[in-house]
Amino acid sequence: MSQFGKVAVLMGGDSTEREVSLMSGAGVLQALLSKGVDAHAFDPAERDLSDLKREGFARCFIALHGRLGEGGAVQGALELLGIPYTGSGVMASSIAMDKVMTKRIWISEGIPTPRYALLRQGAFDRRQVIEVPDTLGLPVIVKPAHEGSSFGVTKVVGYSGMAGAVESAGQLDSDILCEQCIEGDEVTCPVLGSGDSAQALPVIRIVAPDGNYDYQNKYFTDTTQYLVPAGLPAGEEEAIQALVLKAYRVLDCRGWGRVDVMIDGKTRQPYLLEINTSPGMTGHSLVPKSALAAGISYEDLCVSLLAHAALDVGATK
């Protein structure tokens, strides 16, 4: 493991997902140490990133979540420092963090994603809010356009719920995404690798209490079921994996990622919701569960991801 040099596990940060990131980072750090990697915790909320260069870190494992960790800013700083990092590059990270921009690209490439409406703070009135269900139907999902871990997400079942849902999402983001609600099976599919060599891992079907896969049920309860094998009808898993790989590649993602998908219960049409370029690595997280089903241990997954740390510019300074 000496080939990796001194490794920083970036965790914590200043985003709304700080708590989850600290859990992810702690798991990754322990896994790398168990494999003999010279790994160290590094919290960008408490230290300046320039310390990475000054202290001789050779590469970074990004276990940060949220806008200030996986949205391209940290990746850009590491590019300037010349320190290879795990996961997607600056542009892919930035696009993937923006759910609306991701949708626009996917739609242009013929990739199915739920219909949507975008509300920008200060550019809409009460009438436009009430009209959203007229366009998308009910129920409708209202969420911040740049958040993860289900922060600020509301399922609106009646017109009277729209104003409160928009207000809740607006407290976290100036861009509010209103999305057609696809009701059926909720699944997710991780991807490892880059370009033509990227491979989809087994699909996981998520069965949450009352169908509510919120922040609490994602990270802090043991009642959510994660089914792998997913138990989908014949051919569906392979079709979803192919679709996810296309979605991953058109955004030029690299290293790893995870795409969340809803399957319409009536038509069995899969709809891609979003892509996560710095997936969780907690005890409840999905990429490690899927990797394990493919015969890859948590520790080996962490080492493999670290081994593929890279720079957009292709060379260190």
Taking the C-alpha atoms of residue 136 and residue 58, their distance in angstroms, rounded to an integer, is 49
Look up 89 and say whether it is catalytic.
no
**In this structure, are residues 130 and 160 in contact, taking their beta carbons and an 8 Å threshold?**
no
**Active-site annotation holder among 260, 285, 290, 298:** 260
* Element containing residue 120 per DSSP (H, E): strand 116-120
Taking the C-alpha atoms of residue 50 and residue 53, their distance in angstroms, rounded to an integer, is 6
Which candidate, 4, 55, 62, places its Cα nearest to that of 28?
A: 62
**Active-site annotation holder among 59, 67, 254, 258:** 258
**Active-site annotation holder among 21, 88, 94, 149:** 149
**Active-site annotation holder among 12, 89, 257, 280:** 280
Contacts of 303 (CB under 8 A, 6+ apart): 1, 31, 32, 35, 37
Which candidate, 175, 156, 174, places its Cα nearest to that of 165?
A: 156
Strand 116-120 to 175-180 pairing: antiparallel
Look up 238 and say whether it is catalytic.
no
Task: For residue 187, give the 3-state DSSP assignment.
Answer: strand
Look up 17 and say whether it is catalytic.
yes
Look up 274 and say whether it is catalytic.
yes
Look up 280 and say whether it is catalytic.
yes
| DSSP structural state of residue 143 | E
**Active-site annotation holder among 15, 93, 276, 290:** 276
Taking the C-alpha atoms of residue 298 and residue 316, their distance in angstroms, rounded to an integer, is 28
Look up 237 and say whether it is catalytic.
no
Q: Which residues pair with 187 in a beta bridge?
A: 205, 261
260: which 2 tokens?
A: 């969340």
Q: Which residues pair with 121 in a beta bridge?
A: none
Look up 260 and say whether it is catalytic.
yes
Look up 278 and say whether it is catalytic.
no
**Active-site annotation holder among 147, 175, 185, 274:** 274
**Active-site annotation holder among 85, 116, 219, 248:** 219
Q: What is the largest CA-CA distance in the chain?
A: 61
Return phi, psi of residue 154, to 5°.
-135, 135
311: which 2 tokens?
A: 């720079």
**In this structure, are residues 124 and 133 in contact, taking their beta carbons and an 8 Å threshold?**
no
**Active-site annotation holder among 12, 15, 17, 88:** 17
Phi-psi region of 195 (alpha: psi -120 to 50; beta: other; left: phi over 0): left
The catalytic residue positions are 17, 149, 219, 258, 260, 274, 276, 280
